[in-house]
Structures are given as C-alpha cells and as structure tokens.
Chains A and B, each alone.
Chain A
Amino acid sequence: MLDALVVANQTSEAELVEIVHADAGATRAAIERLTDLALVWESPGGLRALSAVADALRGDESAGVSGLRPMSPDPAPDIDARLAAISLRARALLDHVLVSGGEGTTGTARRTVSPADAATPVEELIARRLLVPRDGGVLVLPGEVGIALRGGHTTTTPRDEVPPLATTRREQSLVDRTAGGAAFDAVRRTELLLDHWGLQPPSMLRGGGLGVRDLKAAAAELQVTVPEAGLIIEVATAAGLLTSATDPEGNEVWLPTDSFDTWAAGSTAERWVALALAWLDTTRLPSLIGTRDPAGKSWNALAPDLSSTMAPDARSLALAQLVGLDEGSVLATGTGVPSIVERVAWLRPRRPSVHRDLVAAAVHEAGLLGLVGAGGLSQAGRAIVAHDHDAALVAITPHLPHPVDHVLLQADLTAVAPGPLETELARTLHLLADVESRGGATVYRFTNGSVRRAFDAGWSALEVHDFIGSVSRTPIPQPLTYLVDDVARTFGTIRVGQAESFLRADDESALTELMHHPKATSLGLRRIAPTVVISTMPIDVLLPRLRELGTAPVVEAPDGSVRVARRDLLRARRPRTSRTRGAAQARAQATVASVVTAIRSGDRAEASRPASPAIATTPSSALVALREAIEGGETVVIGYVDNHGASSDRVIEPLRLEGGQLSAHDHRSDDERLFAVHRITTVTPLASPRT
C-alpha cells in the first residue's frame, strides 16, 4: 500500500485502488488508516506519502519489496506499445531486472541509441526508455514500467488476502499431553545440566560465550541435539539460573546461580513456568547458535552479542497466530510452520528476512519447551503467552508425570523406573547403577563397576541388598544378588595404605617385643602382619630411635638389598690457584693485537668513506653491490645495524649471499661472520686494493 503510494509519487485515491493488487474496499480502508497515522497526506495534487516514508522504504534493500521505483515525472502513455515492440531477449532481460530488484548496470552498452540501431537487448531497452540510465552506470526500471509488467499492479500477488495457516485436527488433550511431556523434559534437562555444571563448570571463552566443545559435551550429557542443548543453556541463563563467575582457581566459568537452588526446590510446574516466561521475553537468539555471523564466524552459545530486540517480538507474533487458532486445530506437520512464517511476513512485510527465520525458530523452540505440543498451543502455553503465571501453573500441573517410588528389576541386570523417580531415590540409584536410557522412564544397568562405586561410597553388601529389595516392586533376580555378592567378595581384597617406613623381621617375637616396648608408642608403629610393622616416621628419624631402644636394625635399600651404613669421609675440592704469569702476558698481548686490528680496520672504513655522508642505498641496490663485491672479490664497507639498534661501519670481504644472510670476512674480528642482509644500510666499495 505504502509502496504503491511511493511508486505513484502523487496520485488520486482512484488510481491507487487500481494499482494496488487488492480489493477496492480494503485499499480504501488502508488509505484511511495511513492517513490517520499521518504517514500519508492529502496534498492539493492528490495523496502523497511523506517524503521521509518514501526514503525509509527505499533505503532498505533487504526489505524484499522488489522493483519498486518511483514513476518518471511524466510517464509516457505508450508503455504497452513499447513493451510489445521489444525483442524476446530484451523482454527476458527486463523480466530479470524486475525480479532482481529493478536495477542493473549498463556495462558496455551505449547510453544514447535509437531503437533502430540498438545492438544488444540492453541497448534496445535503453532506447525505448524501458530502462533509464542513471549516474554510475546504473540502469533503473521506472515505476510505470514495473507496474505495466506486473499487469497494472504494484505487486504480482494479491495483497488483501491473509495467508492461511496450514492446519490439521488434533485433540486438545493430545496437544496438552505432548506439550506437558516436552515441558517436563525441558525442566529435567535444565536441572540435569546445571547439576552437572555445578560440579564441572565449563570455562567461558575470552569473548564471552560457551565453547563449541562444551556445548557438544552438554548435548551428549543430555542426550539431545546440539541446537536443543543451546536452547536449554540460553533459557537457563535468561531465567537467571546460569551466569558467568570466577571459580576458586581464578578461571572464568559458567556456573549455576544461587537462584538455581531456589528454582530446583520448586515444583516441576513452577520451574517450568519460570523457564517458559524467561524464554518468551528474552532477547537472546538461541536459534542462531552454530550459524555464521556476517563476518563468517560461528556464533557460540551465550555469546554476548547473540541477542536482538526482534526476538521477543517474533516469538509473540508467532505464538499470537497460534492463539488465534480454534481449539482442536493445530499446525499441519511439514506445511504448518512455513504457513505461519508466511502469515507473519504478511503482517510485518518490512521486517528483514532474518525475522522469518526467527518466527520459524520460535515455533520450534516453543515445541521443545512445551508451550506448543503436536503443532498446537497448549492451555498452559496460552497462559504463558498472556504472561499469566498462576493460570499457567494450574494448566500445566495435570500434564506433568507424577514421580514414582519404585523400579522394576529384571534378570538382565537392568532396573526400569517407569516414570520420573523421586529425587532422593534417583540419586541413590545413580550411585548404584549406570543410566542406560533416559526419557519418560529411566533404565538403569547394574554392572560390576557401578556396584563397586557404591561400595567405594561406603555401602555394604547388606545395605545394597536391602535398598534394592525396598525399591523393587518385583522379586530380585538371582543374577543381581550374585553380582552384588561377587563384587563384595573381591572388594577390598587388596588394600592400599600409607607408611613412611616399614620394619620387618622373620622373628615375630622381636617385633612383638618392640611393639610392647613402653617407649615405642611415640614411633607410630602399627603391625599389619605377624612379620611386618609400619611406622609413620621417616627412616632417618626412626633409625636412631630404634637404636636407642636397644635394637640393631639394618636398613634396606629401595630394591630390597641391605644398605651398609658406613660413614662417608668428607673431603673438599682443592681451590683453583691464580693464573701463571706467562698466561697473563699472552692475554695482554692478544688484547693489544686485537685493538690494533680494530683500529686499523676502522681507519680503512673511515678512509673509504666519501666526503659527503653515505647515501643510504635501497635494499635491492645493496644486494647488487654485495653480489658485485662477491664476484670481484672486493672489500667493502657496510653500514650495519646491530641487535641493539646501534649503527656501525664494518670493513668486510663478502663471500657468499644466501638465505637473506651475507657471510663475509670481517676485518675487525678477523673472522668469517654472518650479517643479516636487511640490517645492512649502506654498501660502499673500498677504493684501495686489498692488502
């Protein structure tokens, strides 16, 4: 409607009715509404859109309203004739321009041609003024041509028909039940994940957010897909159950908040309402986790920028469509979601295309969270959409499974809890058995390892039998009894303890005597076998004390051999004497010689330096000069910057140039040295011949 006005620029109501592809009455009503909203005004020449409106509409290229261009100021009346006159190829091109946004580029086409000598379809169109060249080589399809191409309207499809929702019939009770199941799952998974993260928190990425690996691990832990895990994490955060904090070691991690404990203590219904309301209003975009941002980087869960004010809007719009459905009709499988996307796109045509994705995601997420079941909004979901906390509580409660207090034991060593277990019972079973399958019911499997885990936690075989007997509705299968007893039999066969030292004696009475010695109490002795006693004291302390007690112990080396305690005789090393006279003299001479060499080579460098300061040669010319010097066997002076940035002149005979390094004979050190080529600032051939 507004589009049409912009296209027409200034027009009468009658003309608008004609070009808008819709029922006349609807168009008039729309004009009235727009006038009331002051987006359109009645100028003396007819209806006009506010110029700001036109700018706003045209400015957004991603809006998806294609090919709408203002009409030429004085539209020529013979568009149809001109359209009829063009060649097929030109017509195809024109259609393409229309579909792809009403703009094209001239390319090599000439701007001013007559229809007769147009060589290409583009030139033909320009010649007939069906495309108008603009600045910068852009070709524009004038509005009136667009209208003519669309059969006299601004859009090809009618605009006054509300896109229908694809629906099918399902009983409301089924919808409620399915939604209830999903709601229960969402609550259970949130609790499971946060419980887990309370013990092993995932670390926070430097840019905020949760690493992909942690997200995948969470998905595996919860037995859900990665996007679903992302949703659970985001909703938990939105509900204030999860936040970033610093752990005792000073790392930034994601941790459940203290309000998680409050939340976990609530009833399932209360917990669900809290999650659902948090989801409805959050600006976070869980559906984008794992997709790429414009820069091509993948979005992480909980990334700080992963939010948009469009999200709650898209959600409430999508759910509002579902509220509008009659009781008993739900979105059809497959076609339902696209139809709701179409409907919302019709209601809000100027939203960017990402809005459509958000609408689809909203319906999907609502299904996962239990607002929507089997494609229809549940009673509780309706209450949530209306932000009615209490009504939602009442509505969801009957659809949540009741906790059970027993399991069914089977001969294949599994225990099946035919429903959600009471929390305490679930924790205990979790210790005794491994979870094999989760869902409405839980399947536990008893294994050697799981039973041993219980023993490690301090259970006795009797307690295990009693517990299993008390929770089972069915007789305990014999193999399970055997399993527990087998583990109990081997449990603790080998014991591990700590001792600083041990004492052993083949003579048991010697040890007995020692144990009963009145002064031995301070030695921390404990007898672990008739011939072995351990002590909490290290050997070097124990040994003298034992001797004091009148025993004659022998020390064993770690490999069991007897260590003979002979005292080491202590000796020091002979100190180094000062150097001899001759050596000192030789050193002094060498120093003098090297100083002289350095001075001479400095002199030669000085001598060869041109009167004017050396012009810093370019790296390439330096290389050329060096190569020449190598070939000619010449001596050159180079300006060289050392590691510390100090510049000096060196007299050298270049030998080889390879790998960015120059090996050369350095006159100062009288040795072959390597120079980094990039540090050589100047190269000056030494005028005097080699000495």
Chain B
Amino acid sequence: MNDGPLIVQSDKTLLLEIDHPLASDARKAIAPFAELERSPEHIHTYRLTPLGLWNARAAGHDAEQVVDALLTFSRYAVPHALLVDIAETMGRYGRLRLEKHPTHGLVLSSTDRPVLEEVLRAKKIAGMLGNRVDDDTVLVHASERGNLKQALLKLGWPAEDFAGYVDGEAHPISLVEDGWAIRKYQQEAVESFWHGGSGVVVLPCGAGKTIVGAAAMAEAKATTLILVTNTVSARQWKDELIKRTSLTADEIGEYSGSVKEVRPVTIATYQVLTTRRKGVYTHLELLDARDWGLIVYDEVHLLPAPIFRMTANLQARRRIGLTATLVREDGREGEVFSLIGPKRYDAPWKDIEAQGWIAPADCVEVRVTLPEGQRIAYATAEPEERYRLASCTHAKIDVVRRLVEQHQGQPTLVIGQYIDQIDELAELLDAPVIKGETPVKERQRLFEAFRSGELSLLVVSKVANFSIDLPSAEVAIQVSGSFGSRQEEAQRLGRLLRPKAEGKTAHFYTVVSRDTVDADFAQNRQRFLAEQGYAYRIIDAADLDVAP
C-alpha cells in the first residue's frame, strides 16, 4: 500500500483525489498522457486512451515514464495487464514513419517489417501508396498524406510524421504588447504547439484562444489562413489581430459569403468553404490561393466533415487548432488527431479560473412547474413536440422577468432556442433580439452597444453560441437549448467567463420545466457542469425571490 492520490481502475480510468497533498504533482505527471474526463469537486477522473498515449508519444514521452508516473502516485497496485497494455499501445506509435526521401519524395518507412506488410495489405490503404522502394520503404502519393495518416490511425498503427512542413510565403507578423501581455499559459501553449509542428490547443472559453492564434502567427511569420465559424467571429478575429499584432487592416482579408478578399492573412468561414454549387466546392481554390505558412482552425470541435477532407490535402502546412473542448458530439476526435495534429496543450477550467484569467461562475437551475393546462397538453403531445412545449412554457417568461429584475443593471444575456419564444421574451422585456435573420451590421451594432455598456439586456438565439466576444456579460439566462448538448453548454457558459472587473462572479441560470423532458436534458447539462467542477444549485421558481 502506498498513500498516493491516484487510483488506477481496471477500466483504464484514473481517479485523482484532489484534496490529497500530492494531487497537483500527480496531475502534472499524468496530464501528458491521460485525458481529463471530469473534474467534480473531490475526485477527478482521467482516462487512458490509445489517442492520449499516442499524443504523449508524439510529445516525446515514453512508456517507461507513463508507467513510472502511475506506479509512483497510485494508491493501490496498478493492474499488471494495464501496464503491459500501455507499453504495447505506446509501442505501436512510430513503428511507421512518414519521411521525405531525397530522391523519391514522400515515403512511408518502417523499422518493423511485419507491421509494414500488415498495413500494406489493408484494402483502405492500398490506393494511397505507390511502389515499394525497398523492403522497408514504400512511396506515398503526396496528396494522400492526410488520408494515409487517418487510415493508419484507424488500423491502430499511427505513423509519426517526419516529412516536415513547407515554410510558406514569409510575411512579417509580430505581437504588439502594449498595455497587455501574453499570459504564461498562452505562451506555453504556443511553444508546445510550435515544437510539435501541428496540433490542437485546448483552452476554456474566455481564456484567450485568439491570442494563442496570434502568437502562433507571430512565431510562423508567414501568410496565414484562419478558418472560423461565422462572419461575426471573423470580424472579431480581424479586430483582435489589428489590436494585438503588427498587422494592419490592409493586410487582413475576409473571405465570407459577402466579401471575398485574399490577403496575406485571410479569415474565411467554414460555411463559405463548404458551399457547394452543383456538387462542386466552389471556394476550394482559396486553399491554394497563396502559399500559406500556417492554417488556424478556430473551434476545431465544430469543424465540418468536408473541411476534414480538404484538410487532408494540407498536410504539408503547419496547422493549429483552437478549441475549448475536444468533445465532438459526432465522436470524430480521432480525425482531429490525425488531420490537424495531437493535442499539444490543455489546462482545466478551474486551474485557469484559480489564476484569475476567467471569471468564477455560479450555476443555478431554476425549476418551474408547468401550469395545469399545459401539463395536460404536454402529457398528450407527440414525443417530438414535447421538448418544445416544455421549454416554451409561459411559466418561464415570468421567471426570466424576475431574474432580469434581480440583476438590474448588470449586463445580461437571455439565450433561447426557439425564435417565437425569444421574440416574445424580447417584447416583454423590451430588449433587442439577435437571431439568425438579423443582418451582420445590425448584430455588430448591438454587440458593440452591449460591450460598451449602453445596452444591458440582450436576447439572443443560438447564433450567439460561438466565438462572439461579449466580455462584459455577467448574467446569462438560458430558457431553451438544443436537447442538452454538452458542447453547447460549454459554449454558453464560456460567454460569461471572460474575466470581469473586480473579480465579480458570473451568474448562469437555466430555467427548466419540472417533470418534463426539459428536466431530463437539463440533467445532461448539469452533469457536464458538475464534471467541469461547477457546483450546481437547484432552486424552485417559488423560492426565487428569497435566493440571492
């Protein structure tokens, strides 16, 4: 028996008791190879996955280090089978190498011939490879570099990519740190990305991912393509880049539905890239328009599948992915790993919150009871109608009104899913609405007004979920969401977490109808927040006035 803070379970989860004196040492030791799965108040759960172990290998850790970390901090004996499994899994990485051959170009080579033979016989891979150069080397079609890596990952023999990157067209970019400074963790993130070549940086919303992107560009000093989720966030990137770097407005182009500029630094939306006309992606040439030295993917977890396929062709360029969570509702984390790169840096929300970089949040679930008439309507409704009925109940409107009154004067966002519900709310609260059909100009004007404090209440639909910087928001009230998506919850909470003046606490309310599917979905969200370490309070709508 060893009195360590870590318990290694046979299902490959690691339980870390965080009140233990050695907890932070243990966390540092296991963070490189284990994925943090949940971090509630007492015991954090990490999971060992092949991806995580390969990530660690890619970052230069070996199996001996992993085993040693487990043995050192484990309270109970570590199952031997697990240790063997770790050694085996990590041993699979790098048996195959993608290299630049001086005469043959891109080749796949192996130090372990049987492995090479095995993958050569896989049907999926056959088309991507050319002739055998010798027993241990085989030609790779340059355009298949990404697809090959992806396919090899699926076969369980991830290839280490030594083929290097093209430098791209040089362009001077540097950070201009006047009145602000890059934070330590941001610097670390950029460094570990740069050493790794390509990869994903995971930081909580509000922790300044844009700065990480800007710093990466300053490191690359080359023309850059930035892919973002929507136009508003494209404009925000542009503003931020002008503010934080030596780039001027003339050097930054926007490539979206309305404007098509290709400049040394071009910001394009996912949507415009995936637009198809007659089955052809019309804007693909953008990817080849310049000799890009760096490609930045904002919100990697939202990267649409077609972009994956395009990315497969960009393997020779440096890629950085930025995200708050690697959780993809479609489970394609593995593709992010093989196409953009392994996770290069992450920090748990709570750690960054403790450092004061993101605001602490108080999460409250307010339960309303459906009025009798609506309960009957709900009980007899078709299953697909139920959620809408439950989440759009009028009982919620009254609660929202009271909450808004309570937080009078604090910048407040009311977030909803259903347009008629938010329209109704807006009318009642006498507040402006931002929804899908709001023109970009109008949106920007409203966001600007909200940011400057001129406007203290805004009703938004789900368009505001992502990448819209509203640093001043202190209160968010969500009345309906898309069926309890964890990622949506993270994003919405993220809106609130930009650090506040005087270290104020943000308030995050979710209004939920009791005894309905709405409450069931809320449980999903609640679990997500609890797993992120946010204590979650539940109060009844009736007790609302009493509560702080």
Q: Which chain A residues have a beta carbon within 8 Å of chain B's beta carbons?
A: 174, 177-182, 184-185, 223-225, 228, 333-334, 367-368, 373-374, 398-399, 401-402, 408-414, 416, 418-419, 437-441, 443, 474, 477-479, 482, 486, 490
- Chain B residues contacting A402 (CB-CB under 8 Å) are 1
How far does the alpha carbon of A95 sit from the alpha carbon of B13 in the complex, in Å? Answer: 54
CB distance from A265 to the nearest CB of B (A): 24
The 7 closest A-B pairs by CB, nearest first: A181-B77, A439-B9, A440-B76, A412-B530, A410-B40, A411-B530, A441-B7
Question: Given A177-B77, A418-B75, 9 more contacts at CB 8 Å?
Answer: A367-B80, A401-B1, A409-B42, A412-B40, A418-B7, A419-B7, A439-B7, A443-B15, A443-B45
Query: Any chain A CB within 8 A of the CB of B527?
Result: yes
Q: Determine which of A368, A409, A440 lies in contact with B7 in the assembled complex, contact meaning CB atoms within 8 Å.
A: A440
A412 partner, pick from B38, B515, B538, beta carbons under 8 A:
B38
Contacts of A225 in B (CB 8 A): 81
Residues of chain B with a CB closer than 8 A to A185's CB: 10, 79
The smallest beta-carbon distance between B12 and chain A, in angstroms, is: 9
Set of chain A residues within 8 Å of B79, measured between Cβ atoms: 181-182, 185, 439
Asked whether B526 is an interface residue with its Cβ less than 8 Å from the other chain, the reply is yes
Nearest chain A CB to B348's CB is how many angstroms away? 15
B 72-103 binary contact with A (CB < 8 Å = 1; else 0): 00111111110110010000000000000000
- Residues in A neighbouring B7, C-beta threshold 8 A: 418-419, 439-441
Q: Across the interface, do B43 and A408 meet the contact criterion of CB distance under 8 Å? A: yes
Write out, one digit per residue, whether chain B residues 1-32 have a CB within 8 A of any chain A CB (1) or not (0). Answer: 11000011111010101000000000000000
User: Contacts of A399 on B, CB cut-off 8 Å?
Assistant: 1, 77
Known: A410-B43, A474-B42. A439 touches B530 (CB 8 A): no
A198 to B17, CA, bound (A): 35
Q: A177-B1, A368-B81, A410-B43 are in contact. Are A437 and B76 (CB under 8 A)?
A: no
CB pair B527 A412 closer than 8 Å: yes
Known: A413-B530, A437-B13. A178 touches B535 (CB 8 A): no
Interface residues in B43-81 by Cβ distance below 8 A to A read 43, 45, 71, 74-81
Q: Chain A residue with minimal CB distance to B531?
A: A412
* Closest CB in chain A relative to B235 CB, distance in Å: 37
Taking CB atoms, residues of chain A closer than 8 Å to B87 are 333-334
Which residue on chain B has the smallest CB distance to residue A482? B538
* Contact of B401 with A by CB under 8 A: no
CB of B77 within 8 A of CB of A178, answer yes
Inter-subunit contact A373/B81 (CB<8 Å):
no
Evaluate contact between A181 and B78: CB separation under 8 angstroms.
yes
Whether A410 pairs with B42 at a CB distance below 8 angstroms is yes
A–B Cβ pairs within 8 angstroms, 15 of them: A181-B76, A368-B81, A398-B1, A409-B42, A411-B40, A411-B535, A412-B527, A412-B531, A418-B15, A419-B75, A419-B76, A437-B9, A441-B76, A478-B537, A479-B526
- Rounded to whole Å, the gap between the CB of B165 and the closest CB of chain A is 35
The docked-state distance in angstroms from the alpha carbon of A661 to that of B274 is: 68
With A438-B11, A439-B7: A418-B17 Cβ-Cβ less than 8 Å: yes
Query: Is B308 in the interface zone, CB < 8 Å from A?
Result: no
| A interface majority secondary structure | mixed
Chain A proximity of B11: nearest CB distance (Å): 5
Whether A439 contacts B10 in the complex (CB less than 8 A), given A180-B77, A410-B530, comes out as yes
**Complex Cα gap A368–B526 (Å):** 39
In the complex, chain B residues whose CB is within 8 Å of the CB of A373: 77, 80
Write the chain A residue with the least CB distance to B82: A439
A411 partner residues in chain B, CB cutoff 8 A: 40-41, 530, 534-536
Query: For chain B residues 423-459, which have a beta carbon within 8 Å of chain A?
Result: none
- Interface class of chain B by DSSP: mixed
- Give every chain A residue within 8 A of B538 (Cβ-Cβ): 478-479, 482
Determine if A410 and B526 form an interchain contact, defined as CB atoms under 8 angstroms apart.
no
Q: A178-B78, A181-B76, A373-B80 are in contact. Are A439 and B1 (CB under 8 A)?
A: no
- Note all chain A residues with C-beta closer than 8 A to B527: 412-413
- Of all chain A residues, the one with the shortest Cβ separation from B43 is A416
CA distance A479 to B41 in the complex (A): 13
Complex Cα–Cα for A368 and B40 (A):
33
Closest to A222 in B: B10
Candidates A182, A223, A408, A437; contact of B80 at CB < 8 Å: A182
Report Cα–Cα, A399/B76, bound state, in Å: 9
Which residues of chain B have C-beta atoms less than 8 A from A486's C-beta? Answer: 515
How far is the CB of B172 from the nearest CB of chain A, in Å? Answer: 48
| Residue with the greatest number of chain A CB neighbours at <10 A, chosen from B8, B15, B71, B74 | B15
Contacts of A179 in B (CB 8 A): 77
List the A side residues contacting B38 at CB < 8 Å: 412
Q: Which residues of B contact A401 (CB under 8 A)?
A: 1, 76
Chain A neighbourhood of B11, CB < 8 A: 223, 437-439
Contact A333 B40 (CB under 8 A): no
Give Cα A660–Cα B17 distance, bound, in whole angstroms: 80
Taking the closest CB of chain A, its distance from the CB of B31, in whole angstroms, is 20
Residues of B within 8 A of A223 (CB): 10-11
CB contact between B9 and one of A412, A414, A419, A438 (< 8 Å): that residue: A438
Most chain A CB neighbours (cut-off 10 Å) among B8, B80, B515: B80
Shortest B90–chain A CB gap in Å is: 12
Per the bound structure, the CA–CA distance linking A409 and B9 in Å amounts to 18
| Min distance, Cβ A219 to any Cβ of chain B, angstroms | 12
Give the complex CA separation of A490 and B11 in angstroms.
35
Partner of B40, one of A177, A334, A414, A482: A414
**Contact status B41-A478, CB under 8 Å:** no
- Identify the closest chain A residue to B76 (Cβ): A440
Q: Are A333 and B80 in contact, CB atoms less than 8 angstroms apart?
A: no
Distance between A434 CB and nearest chain B CB, rounded to angstroms? 14
**How far apart are B532's CB and chain A's nearest CB, in angstroms?**
9
**Interface members, chain B 487-543 (any A CB < 8 Å):** 515, 526-527, 530-531, 534-538
Identity of the chain B residue whose Cβ is nearest the Cβ of A179 in the assembled complex: B77
When distances are taken between beta carbons in the complex, the residues of chain A under 8 Å from B1 are 177, 180, 398-399, 401-402
Instruction: Report Cα–Cα, A399/B80, bound state, in Å.
Output: 15
| Complex contact B81–A228 (CB within 8 A) | yes
Considering the complex, give the chain A residue whose CB is closest to the CB of B15: A441
Known A-B contacts A410-B43, A413-B527, A413-B530; the reply to A174 vs B75 at CB < 8 A is no
A367 CA to B10 CA, complexed, in Å: 15
**Given A224-B10, A478-B538, is A440 in contact with B40 using a C-beta cutoff of 8 Å?**
no
Q: A412-B530, A416-B15 are in contact. Are A440 and B77 (CB under 8 A)?
A: yes
List, in ascending order, chain B residues with CB within 8 A of A409's CB.
42
CB pair A410 B41 closer than 8 Å: yes
Tell me, rounded to whole Å, the shortest Cβ–Cβ distance linking B513 to chain A.
13
Which of B77, B79, B84, B536: most chain A CB closer than 10 A?
A: B77
A414 and B40 CA atoms in complex are apart in Å by 9
Contacts of B45 in A (CB 8 A): 443
Residues of B within 8 A of A177 (CB): 1-2, 77
Task: Point out the residues of chain A lying under 8 angstroms from B84, CB to CB.
Answer: 333
A418 to B534, CA, bound (A): 22
Pick from A333, A418, A478: contact of B536, CB below 8 A.
A478
- Bound together, the chains give a CA A34 to CA B208 distance in angstroms of 82
Tell me the minimal C-beta distance from A428 to chain B in angstroms. Answer: 20
In the complex, chain B residues whose CB is within 8 Å of the CB of A440: 7-9, 74-77
The distance from the CB of B144 to the nearest CB of chain A, in whole angstroms, is 33
* Beta-carbon nearest neighbor of A477 in chain B: B535
A-side contacts of B530, CB under 8 Å: 410-413, 477, 479
